[in-house]
Amino acid sequence: MENTNSNTWFNRLINGNERLWKVFWIYFILFGIFVNVCLKILVPLLSIDSDISNYGVIIVRVILYIFLMPFLIWKNSKNTNSRVWEIIAKILSILIVILEIIRSSLTLLTYMFI
């Protein structure tokens, strides 16, 4: 009997069988914009202390942009038409991690000294 759940969008994404343009544009860019808008609007409304909401935004961004998205881009980079795009995608995933670490560190420092 064939497993019908093995071809869902989430399994394709995690297993590295999704097209790279979908991973980058739909899951990274559009989903990232959606998450950032939700965090900027909903977290301050639901939280009493603004420091807690600021740290919550940082934690969600760290999980999303340091762990999840670079992993998905790296894993699905093999699904390109050329080896050059695969290498560019892997370099971009490393740069995403570095830039988000810098951004999160600067944001934390800003919240600590204000």
Question: Could you state, in order of their start, the residue ranges of all structural domains in the chain?
Answer: 7-113
Per the listing, tokens 């490393």 go with 94
Q: Is the pTM of this model over 0.85?
A: no
User: For a pLDDT cut of 90, what percent of the chain falls above it?
Assistant: 8
Question: Which one-letter amino acid corresponds to residue 19?
Answer: R
The pLDDT value given to residue 84:
92
Model confidence pLDDT, tens digit, residues 1-19:
445 556 787 888 888 888 8
Phi, psi angle pair for 79, to nearest 5°: -90, 50
Cβ atoms of 58 and 21 within 8 Å: the answer is no
Residue 26 class from Cβ within 10 Å (0-12 exposed, 13-18 middle, 19+ buried)? middle
